[in-house]
Chain A
Amino acid sequence: MSTQDRPAASPAAGPTRREVYEAGVRRRANRIALASTIAVVLALVILIPLAPGWEDVKRAFFNGRVFAATFPGLVEAFVLNVMIFAWSAPLIALTGLGIALCRDTRSPALFPLRLFGVAYTDIFRGLPVVLVIYIIGFGVPGLGLPRPWNSPYIWGTLALVLVYSAYVAEVLRSGIDSIHQSQRAAAASLGLSERDTMRYVVLPQAIRNVVPANMNLFIALQKDVALLSFIGPVEIFRQAGVYKSLYANFTPYVGAALIFLALTIPATRYADYLMNKQNRERS
């Protein structure tokens, strides 16, 4: 796109007529986009407060007094979310990889492993996360485990790992499948064992291909950590519920949402960036 590509137009002659025209089109598009954005924002800002119940809604959801009183406590509770996320994510990645490899076994003798992989992903992707958390979080400790082995943190984490590793396994499997058969054939012709082929040829490419898809899963996990509150841990969502009950006001939920967004928006932006980068490299 540089000017050197077009020897006809010397730099001294300034922009070509085509460039002037295109710049004009761009400016016009920008002006229209700006005007329509302003119109939409103005309509929202003006019209919503005109609704008859706006004062009530404002008092119940956007109450400055309640927000100020509860926000520090919410931030404090959010630390627990981050901790649960931090120890769940690596476990999920490892288990997911294991299940994906189970499903990809090709030897007839390992058919039971393949069957296990299929059953695992089918079951745990098909169950609501909350149900798995209840069954494992209350059920397993109910078998009579002594403390601290009946802690809701342990079994709640296991529930999250079970469900999310099923999704991650499927994403990884799609990555493994995306590596063309000819690569395996080439590796075999070089004398690599099947195991080494997977380790050194297939997986490095497969995992790189599915990084953006897995980023989305981990963003979803960050939100689903809140479901552990069902079995006891007081993380941000539960803390917001406690404040809601004490103040009879929904503002703490809005505060919790803001804290979630502060983390998930940068993470989604980063995932988008990775995905775009990958698309550019491929094209």
Chain B
Amino acid sequence: MKLISTTAMALALLTSAAYADGHAACAAGKTLTDGTLTIATGNPAYYPWVMNDAPESGEGFEAAVAYAIADKMGFDADSVTWVRTSFDEAIQPGAKNFDFNMQQYSITPEREEMVDFSLPYYTSAMAVLTTQGVVDAGATATLDSLKGLKWGAVATTTGLPMLTNVIQPDSDPLLYNDNADVNAAIMAGQIDAALYDLPTALYLSAVIVENGALLGQFPAELSETPDQFGLLMEEGSALKECVDAAITALTDSGALAAIEAQWLAEATGVPVVQ
């Protein structure tokens, strides 16, 4: 009996000592390759989440957050490798080629049945991207006005239920494979407006879409089910608790908010949809 309690105490001491080392011990042996953290992003990875499609630079919101999380888990920048996956590759059954996958994946209970998500690292407002022509034609940031527009969206977005349940447009929305196709449809005049997360919408309206305009936003804090981005991991991933601990530490220390302030544009100028 005495032997057991001594062993238990020794073990407890050991664990706390390891914990004091930082989280390095937490992730040890749990990654794909020992000593390396493999992070997946999109192909291509979009601004402002990753700048210039080069996550290795650590520039862009998600790239910066990824390196901050890696640092908290005890991996220096050189021990981080990047791979690219589509959404389908991220959710396919079988062995994954990443430790965690980071490309604005919204956490939903339905998805959580199939894969694991970390704690959220960003809570996004949804925004209405349109063109100056539509605004000039009298569209305003009210639900009544939005109902009458012809809507489009990326088919893989979790904003879709919001579009059909909250805005309830008069005609069925058209859906597309990716941002580029939605923009093509806006420019061809086939749709009036598209629903995006706010940072993406800000970028598209300013840079990509000709005469782009942001009609309004649905702030996350007003939404019943806010769009929260989490890191996607294999179901039952051993790494989840280490990642969650790192994100909690970053949130508590204010580091996450600082990264957000650095990379994600100020959104206060966008009117709120009534």
Interface residues, chain A, with chain B CB atoms under 8 Å away: 53, 56-57, 59-61, 138, 141-142, 144-147, 150-152, 229-234, 238, 241-242, 244-250
Chain B residues, CB < 8 A from A142:
184, 187-188
Q: List 24 A-B contacts (CB under 8 A).
A: A53-B93, A56-B94, A57-B94, A138-B181, A138-B188, A141-B190, A142-B184, A230-B177, A231-B190, A232-B152, A232-B175, A232-B176, A234-B173, A241-B155, A242-B175, A244-B88, A245-B156, A245-B158, A246-B108, A247-B110, A248-B111, A249-B91, A249-B113, A250-B91
* Minimum distance in angstroms from B138 CB to a CB of chain A: 15
Q: B110 touching A246 by the CB < 8 A rule?
A: yes
Q: B157 touching A249 by the CB < 8 A rule?
A: no
Interface residues, chain B, with chain A CB atoms under 8 Å away: 87-88, 91-94, 108, 110-111, 113-115, 150, 152, 155-158, 160-161, 172-177, 181, 184-185, 187-191
Specify which of B93, B111, B113, B161 is in contact with A56 (CB 8 Å cutoff): B93
B115's nearest neighbour on chain A, judged by CB, is A248
Specify which of A146, A150, A234 is in contact with B172 (CB 8 Å cutoff): A234
Q: A232 touching B94 by the CB < 8 A rule?
A: no
Tell me, in angstroms, the Cα distance from A234 to B157 when the chains sit together. 14
Q: A233 touching B174 by the CB < 8 A rule?
A: yes
Tell me, in angstroms, the Cα distance from A145 to B88 when the chains sit together. 35
Q: B94 touching A151 by the CB < 8 A rule?
A: no
B111's nearest neighbour on chain A, judged by CB, is A248
On whether A138 and B93 interact (CB within 8 A), knowing A232-B190, A246-B161, the answer reads no
A246's nearest neighbour on chain B, judged by CB, is B110
Q: A246 touching B191 by the CB < 8 A rule?
A: no
Specify which of A61, A146, A246 is in contact with B158 (CB 8 Å cutoff): A246
* Minimum distance in angstroms from A231 CB to a CB of chain B: 7
A151's nearest neighbour on chain B, judged by CB, is B190
Q: A150 touching B189 by the CB < 8 A rule?
A: yes
Chain B residues, CB < 8 A from A60:
91-93, 114
On whether A242 and B160 interact (CB within 8 A), knowing A230-B177, A248-B114, the answer reads yes
Q: A150 touching B174 by the CB < 8 A rule?
A: no
Tell me, in angstroms, the Cα distance from A141 to B190 when the chains sit together. 8
Q: B87 touching A245 by the CB < 8 A rule?
A: yes
B114's nearest neighbour on chain A, judged by CB, is A248
* Minimum distance in angstroms from A243 CB to a CB of chain B: 10
Chain B residues, CB < 8 A from A61:
93
* Minimum distance in angstroms from B176 CB to a CB of chain A: 6
On whether A249 and B114 interact (CB within 8 A), knowing A56-B94, A232-B175, A241-B156, the answer reads yes
Chain B residues, CB < 8 A from A247:
110-111, 113-114
A57-B93, A230-B176, A246-B108 known, 11 other contacts, Cβ within 8 Å: A57-B94, A138-B184, A138-B188, A231-B176, A232-B191, A234-B174, A238-B155, A245-B156, A247-B114, A248-B115, A249-B113
Chain B residues, CB < 8 A from A234:
172-175
The 7 A-B pairs with the shortest beta carbon distances in the complex, nearest first, are A232-B174, A56-B93, A248-B111, A141-B188, A245-B156, A60-B93, A248-B114
